[in-house]
Amino acid sequence: MIDKTVANVQQACRGVEDGMTFMLGGFGLCGIPENAIAELVRLDVKKVTCISNNAGVDDFGLGLLLQKRQIKKMISSYVGENAEFERQMLSGELEVELIPQGTLAQRCLAAQSGVPAFYTPAGYGTEVGEGKESREFNGKMHLLEHAFKAQFSFVKAWKGDTAGNLIFKGTARNFNPNMCGAAKITVAEVEELVPSGELDPNQIHIPGIFVQRIFQGAEYQKRIEQRTVREPQTK
Amino acid sequence: MLDKNQIAQRIAQEVRDGYYVNLGIGIPTLVANFVRDDIQVEFQSENGILGMGPFPIKGEEDADLINAGKQTITALKGASYFDSATSFSMIRGQHVDLTILGAMEVSQNGDIANWKIPGKMVKGMGGAMDLVASAENIIVAMMHTNRAGHSKLLKQCSLPLTGVHCVKKIVSNLAVLEIANGKFKLLERAPGVSVSEIQEATLGDLIIEGEIPEMTF
């Protein structure tokens, strides 16, 4: 097996530079690459473009990069719950491209699978469709959308092995598998890293071929954004 | 006039045995509380779960298990998890039978606006544009008028659109309506609400045919 392991997050992020485009997995704060984000903050890379469904909260997730004004442009589907984001967006410091969530996922998948572009009905007839090529299929209008291009993908999985094979947990899966292999270099951080051969090949969600670097992350906070509970007897 | 829970209760009557259903944030989320116990329904949340269950009991919250509103949830027996692209394959590929979502405005040709108010903070469309562009069966849960008393059922939407020609049915605090031949067709009245009150609260063209029954619960 080809060994994809790197010793730590510093080695995992080698080659990261100002002005690059990054993909970052996660939905809200669920399944975000916490260690890679912390390292990007420490490295203080500037003027980066981030492709991520959301932009974190003020003091966690991508909000940490926003606080240090490292992000030039965000490409997301939903960016609520972040006051600093709002301030930078309204002042014009931060460029924001909002795109439909399914289109975002499919543009990742297209990049992963070598499909340069695809048609989707999402956003036709809205401002999302302005300036885009449109075409009718089966009596319905569609927009041409392109695969993303990025230098690094930062993803987070539950378990991984030294060959880069990944298994995700619960809804922390979200965009992470779609971003694997969708950038030039995919960096996977996992809660538990095991020697290759220890994971059941039947259970692997993402084969190691889509991953260039893997490491076991430290001290996951796994913050909950909206803690909702019910009384024991209710439906 | 219905409250939010009653709107959800009326919409729950539209949920049929064997349906896969996607519920939006707000009133639509409440629909799950009113679905009959004797039918089999699975709720999809577009962040990656089919077979979504109720909120967890205190102490059992799992940071790796949330819904599209980022709330902690549970998974029912037989549930499945999947990635975002697969989730939207279910939606775009029309495998989800019913989509229930909120709206700021709906027009009589079925256009919907629910993601952006110019001049205010824009948070994004999330999965709403994918859902409305692809779902075959869309029910909108909404208040008939805004806080200022202005109709939200219009000839043409004034806000930026989420999707065009996509809404099939509307359940508001005043009425059940469907989109028919480019107009709103009144199907049912909320208890105690008259046809003329509905007419007055509807700026778009309203078709009223025969006696309009009161909703039953």
- Helix (H) / strand (E) element for A111: namely helix A101-113
Going by C-alpha positions, the residue among B115, B204, B109 that lies closest to residue B165 is B109
Does residue B25 surpass a pLDDT of 90?
A: no
- Helix (H) / strand (E) element for A153: namely strand A152-161
CATH number of the domain that residue A56 is part of: 3.40.1080.10
How many domains, chain A? 1
Residue contact A171–B126, C-beta within 8 A: no
d(CA B57, CA B216): 33
Is B188 marked active-site?
no
In a domain, A155, yes or no: yes
In a domain, A188, yes or no: yes
In a domain, A106, yes or no: yes
Going by the DSSP 8-state scheme, the letter that residue A208 receives in this structure is G
Please report the number of interchain residue pairs, chain A to chain B, with beta-carbon separation below 8 angstroms. 180
Note down the domain range covering A163.
Answer: 9-216
In a domain, A37, yes or no: yes
Residue contact B64–A224, C-beta within 8 A: no
A76/chain B closest Cα distance in angstroms: 8
By the CB < 8 Å criterion, does B81 face chain A? yes
d(CA B191, CA A217): 57
In a domain, A87, yes or no: yes
Supply the pTM of this predicted model: 0.96
Going by C-alpha positions, the residue among B102, B99, B114 that lies closest to residue B46 is B99
Nearest-CB residue to A223 (from B55, B63, B160): B63
* pLDDT in the model for residue A80: 76
Does residue B122 surpass a pLDDT of 90?
A: no
Residue contact B49–A171, C-beta within 8 A: yes
* pLDDT in the model for residue A231: 85
Band of pLDDT at residue B190, cut at 50, 70 and 90: very high
Residues of chain A with Cβ-Cβ distance to B82 below 8 Å are 173
Q: pLDDT tens for residues A64-103? A: 999 999 999 999 999 977 888 888 988 899 999 999 999 9
Find where tokens 């269950």 sit: B53
In a domain, A1, yes or no: no
Residue contact B63–A224, C-beta within 8 A: yes
